[in-house]
Structure 1
C-alpha cells in the first residue's frame, strides 16, 4: 500500500500531495501501514480516505479506487448507519461499536455484514481535531455462525420439545442440566424438583446402581448405550422405560420412552405362545403350520415323538421323506391344489413311525386369512388312524364273520358285567341310574329293581355329597375320573368305602367301583396304633424327665433344708462358729436349683433371657480352661477366634452353657480321643444362603464346634433337636441338650445347623445376629454392704404374692435406707399407685393373683404416673406378659432367683436413670 500511495496521483484528492500532509496525519499513516490489522484514516473537512493492505480486503471491488477519495463517497450505502460514530469522533469523542450490522455493496451486490470497530479523533499540533482513525474487524462470519448455532439450538430445542419421548441432559457429575416437556410429563414432577439436582438424588434406589455403572461407562468410553429397565417412581407408580444414552460434550444425553404397553404386549404374546405350545403339545394329534407358500416351519412335540426325527429335519419340503413312497405323488398333488385354491386340505396317507413301520394318518389343514382375504398361514394336524383303518378292514369282512365277532365280544362283555366283583354303573349326568350289574346286590344288598330309575346320589354318605357332585361336574366336562373315593349306603343302613373309576360318554357316565372298606379300616387301625405308640413314648420320656428332675430337686432341697435346720440348732445352742459353712451349703444348693430351673426353661424354649452385647471370642477364652478340664486329656482342644469378630446380643450365661454342652457332646462322640475345634467367624448371608439355612438375610457371627468323632446319619440329624431324642444308652442322656441349645439360639434370633458325615466327624454351628456396637467389659457383682444408699424420702412399692420374697426385698430396701411399701396382689398395689403417696420405683412380680399381672399394674399406674420406674421380678418365662420381649423406657426385668446384691444395684440404677421417655425399647436395654 505504501508503494501504491507513492505512485498515486493526488492532484484530484482533497488530501493533496503526501509531502504537504501534516505531521499528525503522516504519523497515523505510518502506524497504519505497519500493522496487519484492518485500519483506515479520514482527514480534513471532506474526510479524505487512507487505508492499509488489511483493510483493502474489506473494500472488495472498491479498492484501489477508494484511495484518497471522500469517506462518504466510498461508503455512501452505510453512511446513515455510521454517521453518529463519525460525528462523535470529529467532535473529539472516541466511539466503539461491536458487531454492528451493515448492508454493504462491495462486490456488485448488497450483502449483510457485521463489524466491530473504534473511531478515534486525530488532532493537529494545536490539539484541534482534523480527522479520525479507525481500527476495525469484520465479524460477519462469526456473527452468522453464532446465529446459525442459535437457530440450530432453537431447532434442536423445538425438536426436543416436540418429541414423543423424554430427553434428559446430564453433566459429567450426573447433574440434570435439561429435560424436555415429555420428560416432565413422564416424571409428573415440577422442573425445580428435577433440573439442577443429581440424577441419583432424583432417582434413588438400589435398582439404579447397575444402571449408573453403565451410564458411567458410556460417558467415559464415549460409546452409545441402549437398555430397558423397570422404574418405580417415589409415588409408587411403575413403568418400563427404554433408554438410549449418547455421549455429549456436556456429559451424557438420555432419550427415553415409556414402553410399558409394548412390554405388556410382548408378555401377552409370549404368554399366548406358551399357551399355544402347551395346548399343541397336550393333544394327541400332530400339529404343524406353514407359511402362505406352504413352507413347513412348525411342528409340535407329538410330531417328533411319532416320527422319531430330529427337530428341524422336516422343515420346508423335507417332510416328504417320511411319507410312504406309494403315497407321495398323491399327497403332493392334493397339497398343491389346496395351496393354489385356498380350499381346506384333507388326505389319508401313511407316515413312517419311529418304529420303522408305516401307519395310516389323517392330514387336515385350514388357511388363515388377513382382513383382505389373503392367506397368511396354514395350520394343520395329522391324526394316527391306523386303528380306524384296521377297523374298516374288519368291517369289510363278510357279514357272518362280523356278526360272529360282535356276538363273541358282546358275550365277553356280558360275562364281565355279570361276573365282576366290582360294582358297575351306567347313569345320566343328573344322577339317574340306567343300569347296574349284579355285584350291587352282593356288595350293597340292592337289587336292579331297587336302583334303576332312581338317583345314585341318594346312596352317597351326606359328608361325601359335595365332593361327589363336583366329580360328576368334571365328568360332564369330559374329564375321566380315577380313584375317586366316597361312601355308599348298604341296604342295612351301614356304609361301604368305594374307589371309583369313571369315563364320560355323550350323555352317560360309565363307572366301576371297588370296595376298599377293609383297606380303610386297616389303615385307620394302623394310624390309631401308631398314635398310641407315640403317646406311650412321650409319657415314658416325660416320666424319665420328671423322675430325674424330682431326684435332683429332692437332693437340692435336702441340702437347703438340712443346712437351715443345723443353723437353727446351732443358733439355739449358741454355737455360731459353723454358721458360715451351713450358709454356704444352702446358697450353693439354691444356685444349683436355679440353674436346673433355667435348663428346664431352655428345654421348653421359654426361658427369660438377659441379652447383652457379648464379645464371643472373650467368652470362649474365659471358658477354655474349663472346657479342657471337662473333656479330659485324651481330647485336644483348638480355638480359632476370628480377628475383628462382631459382637452378639445374647445371654452370655446361656451361650456358655450351650458351648460347654456342645463340647461334652463332641467328647462323647470320640470315646478313643480326638480333636475338638472351636471356631468363630463373621458371616454375611445373602438370599440363597439364608434360604438354605432357614434364616433372614443379614449379618451374623458363627460359633462352630467340630469334632473328629463317629459322625451322625441323616436320620439322626433330622431328629437331633427334638426333645427327648438321644442316641446315648438309657441313663446316660435325657435328649434335652441340643433341644435346649436350639431353643436358646432361636429365641435369640439365630439358627443352629448340623453338618456331619458318618465316620468323619460332626460340626454344630450357632448363627447369632450381629450386634452393632462394642461389647462392654465384664461387670463385677456389687457387694451388698457397699451398695449405694437411698436418698432422703425415696420410696419403693413391692408387689409379690409370696410373703417370703416380700419380706426379703423389703428388708434389703430398709437396710439401704428406702421406705418400703408392700402389696400382695395387683389390685391392692394399684390402689397405692393411684394414691398421692410418693413412689420412686415399683418392684413387682409378673405373675400376680387378683386378676392383674405385673405388666398390667405397671401400665395402669403409668396413666397417672407417666415417669414411674418399674423393675419386674419373675421366676417364669413371662416374656409375653412384659411386652413380647420389649419393655417401655424405664422398665427392666430381673429373673428369680437373684442375688440381693444384684437387686440393690438394679434398684439404684433405675432410680438414678434419666426420666422416662415415650416409646418402647428392646428388653436388651435392661
Structure 2
C-alpha cells in the first residue's frame, strides 16, 4: 500500500499531512497541482532548512530544519508569509517579489534571535529565494533555502578585526599580538609586496599542514590553485593601491596535494601585506549540495510535464495506428477473398484515421510553436464580421451572441486561417461551458502595454490588438486555470475532448508573437484574451475569390523534377503525378536533384522537400536552380516549422509552400494551379 502524501517521515511531514488545508487558499491536498506536491515532498525530505511560499497569497510551508527559526512565533503552517514575518516584512518583501518575477535572490547574513541551548541567541542566516515554476515555466511559488552563516559572520568580523589588530600589533611587536598570532584558528600570513612569505602563524599547520620552515621565502602564488591565479591577481589590485581587501576567496594547496577554499581579509603596510584567512571548504560544499537539490527539483518538474505529454500522445496515436492497421489488414483480406464491394468502407476508415493523426500532429506542433504558418496582414474587424454567421450557427439558439469591434482597431499580421480556427475553438469551448444557455461576447479592441514584463511569459511592452471571448458559463477554479493550456488536459467527460484545443490556441498565439490571458471565476464565467502585436506595415485587403469551374488537374505534358529523401513518399507522389500525365524525374537528395536541372532538363516545376540530406537543402537547391532558370516555379514541401520558407524573401512569385501531411488530390490541385498561373 502506498504511503500517504507527503511521503517523508518526520514531525513536519505529519503536521502537513494533518493540517486543515481546505481552510487555506491552497485547498485540500488531493487538489494540489503536481508542481506543489513535488516541491513539498522534496522540501520535507531535505535536511537543509527551507520553506515554500506558494501562490498569489504566498502560503507558507516549511520543513523540520526550518522550524527552529520560527520559535516564539504563532503557528506558521498554511499562513501567508507577510503575516509570519510581519516584523521584517518591509525588508524581505522587495527581495521576495523579485523571486516571484523570476530572479533568484537572497538576503545575506540576516540577523535573527533564536532559542538555542535553552536561551535566546543571536544568529545569522543567508536566505536564498528561488522561483519555482510549473511544467509550463509559469512561476507558481518561491523556494527559500537557508544556510546558517553565524560562524561566517563572526569569523569575518573576527578576521577583519584581527587584520586591523594585526597591523597595529605588528608595528608595536607587543606580547598581545604574539599571543593572538599563536592561538588563532584562522591562518595568518605576512608577505612582502613581492608576495614572498615572511611569516605564518601556527594555524597553517592545523589547516593546511605547512610549517614555518617550509614556507618562509616561498612565493605565495605557488600555493594558489592555477585556475584561481587571474581572479586573485584582479582582487589584489586595490591592495597594491593601499586599500583593504575583503572577502576574496581562492583555493590554497594543502601539504598533501589537495586544495582547501580560504576566504581572505588583508591590509597593506608600507612594505608588506598582512592577511587573515578562514577555511570555508565545508560551507562551499554545502552550498553546492543545495544547488544540486534545487536542480533535481527543476528536473523533476520538467519530467512530470514530459510524462504527461508523451502519455497522452502515445494513447491517441496508438488508437489511430490501430484503426489504420486494422483497416489495411481487412482490406488485404477482402482483396484476397475477392470481396471488392466492401473495400470502400475500409479505405474510408484508414483515410479518416490518417486525417485525425494529421490533425493531432498539427495541434501538437501548434502547442509547441512549431507549426508552419502563412502570416499576412489581417483586419480583425473584417475577420470577426466574416465569422459571425458561422459562430451563431455553431452556438445554437440557446446562447445569445454579440460581436463587437472598435472602429479604430489596428491590423495584425497572423495566419488568418489559424486565427479563425482559434476564435471558433474558443467559442465552442464557451458553448460547452453553458449547457443551459447563456451569453457570449466576441470583441476586438486596441491595447497599450506600458508595464515592464516581469517574466518571459508576461506581455511585453508595446501595442497589441486584444481579441476577447467572454462567456457567462460555469467558470473555472484557479487550479484548473493553471492547467488549462496543458496538452491532453481536459475538463470534458471521457471521449468528448482531446485536451489539445486550447493548447493549440496557446501555441499559435505565442508563435505569432502574442500572449493569451485567462480570467475566470467559478459560477460567473470565463474570458479568454488573445493579445496579438499590432502590424504597422502595408495593409492590403485580400482579393475576393472568383467563383468558376473546378480546376482541371490533368497535365498537358509538363516536366516535373521531384526531390524527397523519403522513398515511399517520393514513389507515391511520383506515381500520382504520372497518372495525371506529367513527366516526373525523381531524386533522393539535393545534389542529385540539382544535377538533373543542371543536366539540361527543361523543367516546368521543381518540387522539393526543404530538409534534405547530402549537403544541400531544398532552399539551396531552388536558389541554384533559379540561377539557371530565373522563372522556374518551385513547390516547397515541409512538415516542420523550423524548415519553413519565408515566401516574402523568394525571388519569384511562382513559388508556393505545402505543409505535410497533404492529400494527393490537394497536391495535384496545387501543381496544376501553379503551372496554369502566369
Does residue 829 (structure 1) correspond to residue 581 (structure 2)? The answer is no
SS in 2 for 1:605: coil
Query: What residue number does 2:531 align with?
Result: 766
Do 1:475 and 1:481's aligned partners in 2 also have CA atoms closer than 8 Å? yes
Query: What residue number does 1:863 align with?
Result: 627
Query: What residue number does 2:384 align with?
Result: 617
Query: What residue number does 1:527 align with?
Result: 291
Query: What residue number does 1:242 align with?
Result: none
| Residue 662 (structure 1) shift | 5.6
Rate the CA distance shift 1:619–1:466 in 2: closer, same or farther, 3 A.
Answer: farther
Query: What residue number does 2:251 align with?
Result: 487
Rate the CA distance shift 1:431–1:892 in 2: closer, same or farther, 3 A.
Answer: same
CA distance in 2, matches of 1:710, 1:815: 55
Q: Which runs of 5+ in 2 are unaligned?
A: 1-168
SS in 2 for 1:888: coil
CA distance in 2, matches of 1:619, 1:520: 64
Write the deviation string for residues 425-479 of structure 1: whole angstroms up to 9, x where unpaired: 2333321233332222211112233334333222111111111122222112133
Query: What residue number does 1:797 align with?
Result: 561
Q: Which of these residues, 506, 509, 514, is aligned with residue 751 of structure 1?
A: 514
- TM-score normalised by the chain length of structure 2: 0.62
After TM superposition, the structure 1 = structure 2 runs for residues 183-582 of structure 1, keeping only pairs within 5 Å, are 413-582=177-346
SS in 2 for 1:463: helix
Query: What residue number does 2:67 align with?
Result: none
| Residue 712 (structure 1) shift | 5.4
SS in 1 for 2:234: helix
Query: What residue number does 1:813 align with?
Result: 577
CA distance in 1, matches of 2:431, 2:201: 71
Root-mean-square deviation (CA, aligned residues, Å) is 4.7
Rate the CA distance shift 1:592–1:727 in 2: closer, same or farther, 3 A.
Answer: closer
CA distance in 2, matches of 1:509, 1:670: 79
SS in 2 for 1:822: strand
SS in 1 for 2:641: coil
Write the deviation string for residues 254-274 of structure 1: whole angstroms up to 9, x where unpaired: xxxxxxxxxxxxxxxxxxxxx
Do 2:391 and 2:424's aligned partners in 1 also have CA atoms closer than 8 Å? no
| Residue 871 (structure 1) shift | 0.3
- TM-score normalised by the chain length of structure 1: 0.46
| Residue 841 (structure 1) shift | 0.8
CA distance in 2, matches of 1:420, 1:791: 96
CA distance in 1, matches of 2:659, 2:293: 43
After TM superposition, the structure 1 = structure 2 runs for residues 728-743 of structure 1, keeping only pairs within 5 Å, are 741-743=505-507
CA distance in 1, matches of 2:353, 2:515: 32
Do 1:782 and 1:905's aligned partners in 2 also have CA atoms closer than 8 Å? no
Do 1:826 and 1:849's aligned partners in 2 also have CA atoms closer than 8 Å? yes
Do 1:701 and 1:769's aligned partners in 2 also have CA atoms closer than 8 Å? yes
More relative contact order, 1 or 2 (CA 8 Å, 6+ apart): 2
After TM superposition, the structure 1 = structure 2 runs for residues 30-45 of structure 1, keeping only pairs within 5 Å, are none
Rate the CA distance shift 1:413–1:627 in 2: closer, same or farther, 3 A.
Answer: farther
CA distance in 1, matches of 2:434, 2:173: 74
CA distance in 1, matches of 2:334, 2:211: 96
Rate the CA distance shift 1:781–1:414 in 2: closer, same or farther, 3 A.
Answer: farther
Query: What residue number does 1:875 align with?
Result: 639
SS in 1 for 2:274: strand
Q: Which of these residues, 652, 657, 676, is aligned with residue 893 of structure 1?
A: 657
CA distance in 1, matches of 2:385, 2:276: 74
Write the deviation string for residues 180-201 of structure 1: whole angstroms up to 9, x where unpaired: xxxxxxxxxxxxxxxxxxxxxx
| Residue 678 (structure 1) shift | 3.8
Write the deviation string for residues 647-701 of structure 1: whole angstroms up to 9, x where unpaired: 533224433454466668889999999976543124577898999976586x643
Do 2:443 and 2:467's aligned partners in 1 also have CA atoms closer than 8 Å? yes
CA distance in 2, matches of 1:796, 1:757: 55
Q: Which has the larger radius of gyration?
A: 1
Do 1:782 and 1:901's aligned partners in 2 also have CA atoms closer than 8 Å? no
Rate the CA distance shift 1:551–1:800 in 2: closer, same or farther, 3 A.
Answer: same
